[in-house]
Structure 1
Amino acid sequence: MEELLTPISQTYRSSNQAGGGLLGLSSTARPRAEPQIGFGSSTPEEALEVLKGQPGYDDLLRILKWLQDGTRGTHSFDIRKPNPQSAQIVHVLVTEIVANYWALLKESSSAQKKSQPVDLLLASLQSISGLNAALAYIRALLQEARKDPKGIKRSFATPNLASALDLLSCILQHNTDIQSIWQAVSSSQDNAGQVRALGMEFVSLIAGGKVVSLAAEAEHVLHQADMLEEPSWIANSKQYADWLGNNLVDWIRPNPSAGDLKICADLTGRGLKLGHSDLMIKILFTGLVLHAEVHPTFEKLLDLLSSADQRKVLLMVLKFISTKYLSSVDADEAIEDYPTIWAAASALQAVIGTSSVRKAQLVAWLSGATGAGLGETCGIRRAALAVLADDKEAMFSVLESSLGLLGDQLYIKHAPMLQQEAHAQVLLLSAGYVHRKSPIKLNVLLRSSNFLNTISNRIGASQDRAKFLGMVVGEALSGLIHNEDRRLNFHMEITDSGEGKWYKSLVSVVDKTGPISPLKSQEIPKGEPAVPKPVKKTPRPAPKPARTMPQSGFIIEEIEDEDESSEEEDDDLVAYAKPTSDEEDEDDDPTLINRNKPNAPVYIRDLIAYLRDTENYDRQKLALATAPALIRRKASHGTEVSAHAEELASLLVGLEDKYELDDFHGFRTQGMIAIIVAQPQKMARWFAKTFFDGDYSLSQRASVLIVLGIGGREIAGFETSEYSDVASFPSKKLPAKVEKHYEPSAPANRYISASASLRALPPNALDNISQSLSQAFLAPLAAEAADAATGPDVLKLSSFTSRLQQQTSSSAAPVTTSRTKAHGVHSIPNTTANLLATSFFFPLTSRFQAALHSPSATRRGLLFDPSLLTLYLKTLALLLHAAGPSTLALPQMTAEFWDLLLGVRTHCVGEVGVAGAVLFGLMALLDVNENDTRGLCQRHGHEVVESVEWVSGVFDRTRGGDQGGNGEENQVKMMAAGVLIRLREMVERYRALLMGDMIGFS
């Protein structure tokens, strides 16, 4: 049995030591006894010694209370001040006390009401030393857990990691923690150099991203070890930015000292480089300008930032004001005095202040090629110009720059139309201010060649919208300085329309700074439906068995009618189906059956309440199932949908599949499509804006693109939803036997999609439609090439034609192989085509250009995600195809879309999906402009030559056919071949027009 016993430890003693103690053991070999006397003195050395000796709970509380008394000034030792003794005590508290006592301290704190033991520990660690010790401890535990040979789940470091992460989140949980930490550090140092060095370390620690990144890494390890009970706020960059902004507001609001304001400015500038910097600036602007109205302090804070950071803050404030407060200011709003715009002007004035740097940046934003609030309402431009109203030089600079920009031919050809409209509004507004302040300057400017070139270049443009802007600008500016008989008048119906009169009336707008109270009133939600609380479900008693009724003296007998003609008359009467058994009735336990099911919502406000009640499974399921039909039914009856359209759309976009409902995404998508179909002009712009500016995931943004694509095609008549019949009442429909004689015959041309009866929305709905249109584009080319080819050319085209025929035959949607030109072309009304262009297409393309110049790197990264970029390009191509060749804005749509396609060529390298989307976009461009190929070569010769060169390179680099390759590569190669054939036909036919653009082209 001796070999089974293994000694734990051995003790040796020297020969000169006397045997003492029982069993001959030396006194030095006895185990170390715990200290018999607890902490009772007032020195940090004794506190450190007791903490190292594994103190009991009572001794620990006495030490923590003594340390807290030092932070309050009771004695001279303050653990928050950096020195060697405090660093050692903090290290022991973090590495040993937290590992052993953290759970006990939190449990004791929850049981007590007055004194919180865990608060004593946190008060001792709220310092730079405490934060550094906690981060170093988490970093060491992460390395230990990952290097443990037992694995992360069985590592002994993961429980301590959970305690350390919880400790870090508790140290920084209040809105005054940053201020208290820095004041404790700065008050302990008299040397300015040391304070400056500590300030740099403090800023790097708080706003440098170390805390968030390390906490997120620890949370990921705990998730792998199945020890993460709930996500920590400190590992979420959005919540951390919110916490940082609130701390800065509470610190700056009481008018801090110059040194503290400099630290706040450093934290703000460093925080702009973190994620969600726009959220932090929103909190600062709201807390310091709107609510506290400490404008001088906020201005001083901005003055301490660098010029680049000041520009970022100004752009974020302009974006926030426009989105939050001025989004409801419509174009047809009364343009006299508008309190919200005046309040926004006051808020902007508080941001600009007396700084010449920020004023110059505001002028550059108004007159720059990428500024002026692209896609936003005119209210933000009116508010910005109201800030510059008293500065004649700045206003004249805006006017002169805007006039030169609008007259630039490259700008007219390539700039998004929404951008041109915004600059036209800035030009007209600034011209009115200059005319009132210095009419001589305006008179001289209108006699210059700059004004004449602007009007002539605009009138000579190929886009109708560009001509319209040039005409209204010319008439409005001429009306300011010329009499009625001399003023410029084009005598065009479009300039005398409602929109034309609105543009020309902008020169008479006079805005000024007003009270800021209208912005405060919008912070309080009005008329928001209350969220119903979940009701506790109680089982209903089981129903008593029904008593058998005695048989009556007569019998009801069904008598069949022998006249068969009556049956024909009753063919339209549909018999009720047999009631199916309730799924909940199949439960063995009757107490689990829910009999209190909610009724289907019949009003939009009920639907909103159901969607908000995310804790009720029955309401969520019923709301999703009834939303598409209810929205379509209420769309043309009353104002329920129009009044709550944005609220409904925001709820549906942000809704998550919490209960894993069947066909959740299908119902949700159909609901959003119903909103777009009900209010296309308003909600299409809202969805486009939400796609770029909303805080949503990739899947939610993808659903927005699908909704825009399918909704636009349904408005154009290419798709028919299964819920469209509910919009019409039965009294307005013919009987089925009569209606079949009046059904329109299916048109046989390629402009009508084969999927015109869309009954379901799979996740790849847009991909299916794009594939169908691609086959419709490629099939005629393959047929013509196969008929015209002889000899060896037949072998070259055989694989291409055979693969295309196989895909065409295997597709569920039949594709027309004839290219009808003179007849059968699907033309939609100009009103619908104009709606698709102005509300669907242009907001998507224009906001994409604006997002490219956004200071937020997160927005730019989202745009160039391969899957999202592919879906975005396909959506634009489908909208362009849905608008059709009869669209008046087709030249402008073609110009913007072609520039965008050529601009994303670099992102096609290594991404077959993105390359396929670009090729599909080129196919849609060529297909819609088929009857105007000469105009394409004349207006877009450079783009034609570049496209030929790029598509030929894609065709050569893509594997396919006999060289192998997967199905997606084969499809891309076929699309490249089809586009290349069409482009080379255009080049050969109009070579004379393209001679200048074909230099260097082979």
Structure 2
Amino acid sequence: MDNLLTPVSTTRRKDAPLLQEVSSISSAIKKVTEPSPVTARRVPKSTEEVLETLRHEPGYESLIDTLRVLRHGRFEQETFHIARPSPIGSQIVHALVTDIAPNYWTLLQEDALNEKGSGTRGAKRGSTTGLQLFLDCVRNLPGINAVLLRLRALTQEAKSEKKEVKRPDLLANLRITLALLEAILDGTDCIQRLWTSATAERDGTAKRRPLAQEFLALLGSGRVISYAAEADDILRLAADKKSSESTRWISDGAEYSRWLGRNLARWLAHDVSPDDAKLCSDLLARSLRLGYSDVIVKILVEHLLLDKATKRSSLTILVDSLPNLDQRKVIFAVLKILSDTHLDRLGSCESAESGPVIAGAAGAIKAIVETSEAKVSHLVFWLTSSSGAGLGDGVGIRRAVMAIVAQHRDSIVNVLEKTLGQFGDQLYIKHSPMLQQEAHAQVLLLSAGYVHRLAPMKLTMMMRSSLWLNAISNRLAASQERARFLGLVVGEALSSLVEKGDKKLDFHMEETNQEEGMWYKGLVNVADQPGTVEALKAKENKRPKLSPFKTEKLAKSSQNEAIRPSRPPPQGFIIEEVDDDESEEDDITPYAKPDSDAEDSDEDATLVRRDKPKAPVYIRDLIRYLRDTEDYDHQKLALTTAPGLIRRKGNFGTEVKEHADELASLLVGLQDKFELDDFYQLRLQGMIALVVTQPEIMGQWFAKTFYDGDYSVSQRTSILAVLGISARELAGFETSEYTEASSFPSKTLPERVERLYIGSPSSSRQLDSSSSLKALPANALDTVAQSLTKMFLAPIAAEAADAVTGPDVLKISTFTSRLEQQKSGPSNIKRKPAARPRIRAIPNTTAQLLYTSFFSPLVARFQAALRSSSRTRGALIFQQPHLLATYLRTLGIVAHAAGPGTLALPAMTAELWGVLLRARTAGGGDVGVVRAVLFSLLALLDVNEERMRDICAELGSEVVETMEWVSGVFEGTRGDDGGKSEENEVKMLSAAVLIRLREGVEKYRALLVGDMIGV
């Protein structure tokens, strides 16, 4: 009864002292801090008490004691495992995620940092921190499910369109839940621990099967990525611009795939049971559908195949349990990784170090394939499929695969038969990219050599069959020069294996006896054997690494040798020629003024910097500056110096050639972190300098990176701009302002001497403003396309004006004015039906280079991307209409830069025409794509002006189909008079294409009618 009444006030006794000692904590706060029956620090004795404690806001010490008991799971009357799915366990985990985490997450993190810094409290509680205890309790399947449900609920609440004010702690809870999910999944052994804890003391397949399904659906279905990415996007949109809200790895598909690969590799690195191996295979099969299969396979190859500390049979066990289609996908990804990482650097594989590397790659493939007939069939399919055999890759990967297939006699014979039948097919010769035909020709020659060594009679009988005769006949009758060349070298090479003496086939062609022809014919003598995988790692370790002292010493010595004084010292006799019109005072040579430093004029001496970095003079210094993304001065110096330095070093020494791919990767992926002036123009000029100095290597590298690289749309657009503008500069249509600035002093005379021998430099070296490549704007490729469009349309407009104004007899235009128009350049030449000379300031001697290194890689990979799955990266990039339009304009610019003198012009015309017809539907009717298609058609017709008869004879159906489509575009487009809209330009381009096509059709109608009858 006494406890029922509580005094509400007290009075001071009369005998009490006036001054009394009072506690620093008020009575109200003291009542709150006093432990209640629920919040008192006591160890729970059952799961019900644990749940009750967590639901009623326990104190920190009580929470730690509860988590410690919960992790061990030992109670007085029961043993509890929180990782096992159960009703009471789900409630406990839900309370931990929804009640404890929002209130104690920050405190747990701070406490963990404090205990890590000082061991006082850690010694009192043991080695396990409160954060580790909390994570151990929620690091299980129920815990991850609870976190994902909490994340989903918070995301839906944040995205709700209700007008009432949302909770102010919503974003904070969302951020805490994301951090909790990231902490739960952190580590390379997380997946193994999750499965081990979930199946502890559970024997039997029937009990594990439901857990396995939930396990796979949770980690391999993409739920984690989708929920985390949605929440991360809300946080970044809600944050202000100055906040550093970075993307978490759990919301990045590539990083999450790397996490899966590392966990699988860690789990399989040791001995695993067959059930666990099957579970890993099922998880890998689901992970391959996330869209980052190459990322996962690359991690597995590095950790399970190339690492000496692990058993290489683990990857074989993993691949064996996969379904047939997933097996093929993994094997193809392994081949791509080996080619990109190790074999593409070998080139034509003629160096001494190429043999061990190819043998090591073959050993890696053998470790996966072993003796399985199903896996060997995947290799056979890779070699013989219409889009296989490593499109765009070097011959090294084909040699490595052939070394494995050659160990199975029936398989290598099958490869030879299929490749030979495909090699001689007329449709294949006419429509397949030349890059693909070259790869299959190499496969044919390699397989023929192996078959000749294994079963010579089989090769002899095959060369007596109609399959061989039809293949060679169709190749020799092909209209494309490159297709005929492949037929010549294959015919001579295979005949040399079977026939002897005078019976050996010899076409007596010059190109078959040159370097490339002899290399192709030498492939029949290649016999590779699988080696050890360590050869691939040894290749990487052989790269020279100079110490900082040696590097600095080498740089100083090279600088001392390269630097020359600007004028000779005043010793002895000085003979100097001067002009007569100069006064005697000019004979006195004044001393040069000292270089002025703008920072020396600063009034505050503390602001003057004396440690400013110097401009890089070596390529390795330029690479070091580009890598230093945290230093403003290094980034600025690297960008401003890169174009001139790369051009200056491009043809002197091997610095640029050895580091070209690394430089290109840095420049393509460089971000404008400091908002530098002219950042994009300088970066573009640096990449153009790389392509111009090393066109054969970098043209193919940029074309391959455009499809395979993990870059944004803007970065891919810059790659296309580099290829288009570099092609024009190589062909002589453009001249960069960095070309003259990067020339060595030994190549130029002093200005005074140059005036005596050459004349005024302003008159001799002044470039036309129309052909000078100045600082490029952001839409540099569009500017080039617009100038070419004006050049294409100007003659047609002039002819239309002539037809309106009257007959040619009444014209005032004379022969002199026409000659002046021809002298002014090709852009002002008036087009007439009769043949006219094409005058160019610089002869185009690089047409074949532009076709093989620029045009062919772009077109071949485009066709392969359209034939591939819609989820591949090569196909996804063409879902962007702007990117597709830029790609088509680049092809038109490269084709125009190659010019009419290209030997491979028929092949280029057929390939580009086919791409444009397919791109009509791929663009979905976008106006920009239609304009790009018309522009490329116009460029193609301009280059083939003298070949309209051949076009009508060889591409009759394409010409008719194009005319019908362009007519529909012209009639369906509404253009305004004198306007500059995009539709108006489409109208003009379609009219120009129609005029050109109708001229050729009317002139060569008989050829078209005959072609249509044949169809």
Would you say same fold, with TM above 0.5?
yes
**Structure 2 counterpart of 1:275, one-letter code:** G
1:109 and 2:93 correspond? no
Change (3 A) 1:728 1:581: closer
**Residues 89-109 of structure 1, C-alpha deviation per residue, up to 9 Å, x if partnerless?**
100000000010000000000
Matching residue of 2:447:
430
Structure with bigger helix share is 2
1:731 CA displacement: 4.3
2:857 aligned residue? 843
Counterpart amino acid of residue 428 in structure 1: L
**Could you say which residue in structure 2 is the equivalent of 1:755?**
770
Name 2:434's counterpart in structure 1. 417
> Equivalent residue for 2:780?
765
Partners in 2 of 1:289 and 1:74 — Cα distance?
50
* CA distances 1:527-584 after superposition (whole Å, capped 9, x unpaired): 468999xxxxxxxxxxxxxxxxxxxxxxxxxxxxx998115997999998997772x5
Distance apart, 1:228 and its partner CA: 6.5
Q: Does 1:172 align with 2:206?
A: no
2:708–2:873 contact (8 Å) kept in structure 1: no
1:377 maps onto 2:361 in alignment: no
Secondary structure in 1 matching 2:846:
helix
Query: Letter of the aligned partner of 2:210 in structure 1?
Result: A
Deviation at 1:302, TM superposition (A): 1.5
Counterpart-to-counterpart distance in 1, 2:74 and 2:516: 67
Question: Are 1:984 and 2:998 an aligned pair?
Answer: yes
Alpha-carbon offset, residue 673 of structure 1: 1.2
Q: How far apart, in 2, do the equivalents of 1:959 and 1:34 lie? A: 82
Equivalent residue in structure 2 for 1:860, among 875, 890, 899: 875
Is the contact between residue 388 and residue 395 of structure 1 (CA under 8 Å) also seen in structure 2?
Answer: yes
Pick one of 131, 144, 154 that aligns with 2:157.
Answer: 144
1:601 equivalent in alignment to 2:616 = yes
SS of 1:594's partner is coil
Aligned partner of 1:77 among 75, 80, 96 = 80
Counterpart selection for 2:227 from 210, 214, 227:
214
- Confirm or deny: 8 A CA contact 2:280 2:318 kept in the other structure: yes
Corresponding residue of 1:484: 501
Question: For 1:224-373, what aligned pairs fall within 5 Å after superposition?
Answer: 224-226=237-239, 229-291=245-307, 292=309, 294-331=311-348, 333-334=350-351, 338-373=355-390
Tell me, what secondary structure is at the counterpart of 2:916?
helix
Cα distance in 2 for residues equivalent to 1:666 and 1:783: 36
Does residue 457 in structure 1 map to residue 467 in structure 2?
no
Q: Does the CA contact (< 8 Å) of 2:365 and 2:401 recur in 1?
A: yes
8 Å contact 2:707–2:873 — kept in the other structure?
Answer: no
TM-score (norm 1): 0.87
Contact 2:412 2:447 in 1 (8 A): yes
Q: Distance in 2 between matches of 1:683 and 1:244?
A: 34
Tell me, in whole angstroms, the C-alpha distance in 2 between the residues paired with 1:621 and 1:133: 49
**Of 33, 37, 60, the match for 1:57:** 60
- Distance in 1 of aligned mates of 2:501 and 2:651: 45
Instruction: State how far apart, in whole Å, the 1-side matches of 2:894 and 2:107 are.
Output: 62
Q: Indicate how the Cα distance of structure 1 residues 72 and 817 shifts in structure 2: closer, same or farther if over 3 A, else same.
A: farther
Q: Which moved more, 1:595-604 or 1:735-744?
A: 735-744
1:156 offset after TM fit, Å?
A: 2.3
**Do 1:425 and 1:506's aligned partners in 2 also have CA atoms closer than 8 Å?**
yes
* Amino acid aligned to 2:652: H
Matched-pair contact (CA < 8 Å) for 2:359–2:532? yes
Alpha-carbon spacing, 1:941–1:573, altered in 2? closer, same or farther (3 Å): farther
In the TM superposition, what whole-angstrom CA distance separates every residue of 1:702-722 from its partner, at most 9, and x where no partner exists? 111111111111111111111
- Structure 2: how far apart are the matches of 1:744 and 1:454? 58
**Shift in Å, 1:352:** 1.8
Paired residue secondary structure (1:495): helix
Q: CA-atom RMSD, angstroms?
A: 3.4
Q: Distance in 2 between matches of 1:601 and 1:698?
A: 31
Counterpart residue number, 2:639: 624
In the TM superposition, residue 634 of structure 1 has moved relative to its aligned partner by 1.7
How many Å separate the matches in 2 of 1:571 and 1:277? 74
Q: Is the 8 A contact 1:331 1:377 kept in 2?
A: yes
Distance 1:569-1:714 versus aligned 2 partners, 3 A rule: farther
Instruction: Determine which of 139, 159, 181 is the counterpart of 1:126.
Output: 139
CA contact 2:357–2:539 (8 Å) conserved in 1? no
Distance 1:891 1:45 in 2: 82
Shift of 1:485: 1.2
Pair 572,309 (structure 1): closer, same or farther in 2 beyond 3 Å:
farther
Quote the offset at 1:585 in angstroms.
Answer: 5.9
**Residue identity opposite 1:566 in structure 2:** E
Q: Indicate conservation of the 8 Å contact 1:600/1:623, yes or no.
A: yes
Aligned-partner Cα distance in 2 for 1:937–1:106: 75
2:834 matched to 1:834? Answer: no
1:849 is displaced (CA, Å) by: 2.1
Instruction: Kindly provide the amino acid, as one letter, of the partner of residue 147 in structure 1.
Output: S
Percentage identity across aligned positions?
A: 51
Task: Give the match's secondary structure for 1:466.
Answer: helix
Structure 1 CA distance for aligned equivalents of residues 349 and 845 of structure 2: 19
User: Residue in 1 aligned with 2:93?
Assistant: 90
Sort the Cα spacing of 1:563 and 1:370 in 2 relative to 1 into closer, same or farther, 3 A: closer
1:186 offset after TM fit, Å?
2.0
The answer to whether the aligner puts 1:474 opposite 2:491 as a matched pair is yes
Question: What CA deviation, in whole Å up to 9, does each residue of 1:389-432 have, x standing for no partner?
Answer: 12111111111111111111111111111111111110010001
Partner of 1:397: 414
Contact 1:624–1:668 (8 Å) recurs in 2? yes
Matches of 1:589 and 1:905, distance apart in 2 = 64
Task: Measure the CA separation in 2 of the matches of 1:475 and 1:152.
Answer: 81
1:155 maps to 168
Once the two structures are overlaid, the 10-residue window that deviates more, 782-791 or 380-389, is: 782-791
CA distance in 1 between partners of 2:5 and 2:708 (Å): 80
* CA distance in 2: counterparts of 1:143 and 1:940, whole angstroms: 57
What is aligned with 1:652? 667
Displacement, 1:744?
9.6
The residue number in structure 1 matching 2:213 is 200
Cα pair 1:632 1:726 within 8 Å, conserved: no
Alignment equivalent of 2:799, drawn from 776, 779, 784:
784
- 2:41 corresponds to: 38
**Alpha-carbon separation, structure 2, partners of 1:994 and 1:456:** 25
Aligned to 1:640: 655
When residues 465 and 701 of structure 1 are mapped into structure 2, their CA distance, relative to the original with a 3 A threshold, is same
What residue identity is the alignment partner of 1:250?
A: R
Distance verdict in 2 for CA 1:814–1:984, change over 3 Å: closer
For the residues of structure 2 that align with 1:339 and 1:74, how far apart are their CA atoms? 66
Q: In 1, Cα distance between the equivalents of 2:470 and 2:600?
A: 79
* Structure 2 counterpart SS, 1:461: coil
Of 942, 958, 964, the match for 1:949: 964
Pair 1:47-2:50 in alignment: yes
Contact 1:336–1:510 under 8 Å retained in 2: no
Deviation at residue 685 of structure 1 after TM alignment: 1.3
* Contact 1:472–1:503 (CA under 8 A) maintained in structure 2: yes
Q: Which residue of 1 aligns with 2:5?
A: 21
Secondary structure, aligned partner of 1:775: helix
- SS of equivalent residue, structure 1 residue 961: coil
Greater displacement, 714-723 / 696-705: 696-705
Letter in 2 for 1:42: K
Partner of 1:547: none
Letter of the structure 2 residue corresponding to residue 178 of structure 1: I
The answer to whether the 8 A contact 2:312-2:367 is kept is: yes
Structure 1: gaps of 5 or more residues: 1-16, 25-29, 533-561, 792-811
Query: Contact conserved, 1:960 with 1:966, CA < 8 A, in 2?
Result: no
Decide whether aligned partners of structure 1 residues 637 and 844 sit closer, same or farther in structure 2, where only a CA change above 3 A counts: same
Give yes or no for contact 1:322–1:380 (8 Å, CA) kept in 2.
Answer: yes
Q: How many residues were matched structurally? A: 927
**Which amino acid in the other structure matches residue 505 of structure 1?**
G
